[in-house]
Amino acid sequence: MKKYSIFLLIAMLVTSCATTYLTNSRNFSQEKRAYDKIVVIGISKSRVARAQFEQEVVNGLAAQGVNAISSNSSGIDIPMEGTLSDSQASELNQKLMQAGFDGAIITHLVNASEYTDVIPGNTYTGYYPVRYGRFGRYASYYPVQTWEPDRMVTGTKYVLESCLYALDNGQDDNLQWVGMFELKDPSNLQKVTEKYAGELTEALLKESIAPR
């Protein structure tokens, strides 16, 4: 499958019916800790979409007293394509720590697949008056049932992953928290990024990040 930017994919799609994006999460550290400065990284080829998403997360954390900076404002060149080798990851880790970062939140697309949902039909009952006598007077109401058949809904489902790393823990044991998010056919880029960022920051503050 051809690879696209996660946020460009979001912008290209149609109506979202999901009530929540976060499907599951895990706190690997099994504790909450405070960070001096966190870098927020959204893996995307689109600089505009990336900046918008990162800033939403930064704003959400800042509202709770957490010091966070978007990768666009970090002054550090962070690769947006491919997988980093161990040496590249180690070098990037050192650059971030030298810039004062002790935490990193990274979001990327895991998988895109087609889905089919069956929405069960419903039976509706409406009541209609039975007239008698003078105009405007009614004797009773009689029920009329209307049946709506099942509907098949198809589209594309996107699974995204957001991870929190403690950069000062070393390369072997720095994963602190992981959240999996599922989006079905979202449309409005701004609304999607706001909702995703809101759910992400809420989960992180509840499960893994302690404000100073």
Tell me, what's the pLDDT at 90?
85
Going along the chain from its start, the domains and CATH numbers come out as 6-119+154-207 (3.40.50)
Instruction: Tell me how far apart the alpha carbons of residues 195 and 25 are, in angstroms, rounded to a whole number.
Output: 17
Residue 117, pLDDT score: 73
Side chain identity, residue 99? A
Looking at residue 133, its pLDDT comes to: 53
Residue 63 has pLDDT above 80, yes or no: yes
User: How do residues 122-141 score in pLDDT, each as one tens digit?
Assistant: 777 766 665 555 555 545 55
pTM: 0.74
Q: What per-residue confidence (pLDDT) applies to 12?
A: 38
- The torsion of the CA quartet 21, 27, 28, 30, rounded to 10 degrees, works out to -170
The pLDDT tens digits of the residues spanning 85-115 come to: 778 888 888 999 999 999 999 998 888 788 7
- pLDDT exceeding 90 applies to what percent of the chain? 40
Of 61 and 86, which is predicted with more confidence?
61
Rounded average pLDDT over 180-197: 83
For the beta carbon of residue 76, count every other beta carbon within 10 angstroms: 14
Alpha helices in the chain (DSSP H): 6-12, 47-62, 86-98, 189-207
Q: Which residue has the higher pLDDT, 211 or 68?
A: 68
Q: For 149-175, what is each residue's pLDDT tens digit?
A: 777 778 788 889 999 999 988 777 799
By the 8 A CB rule, do 33 and 210 touch?
yes
Instruction: Assign 3-class secondary structure to 69-105.
Output: EEHHHCCCCCCCCCCCCHHHHHHHHHHHHHCCCCEEE
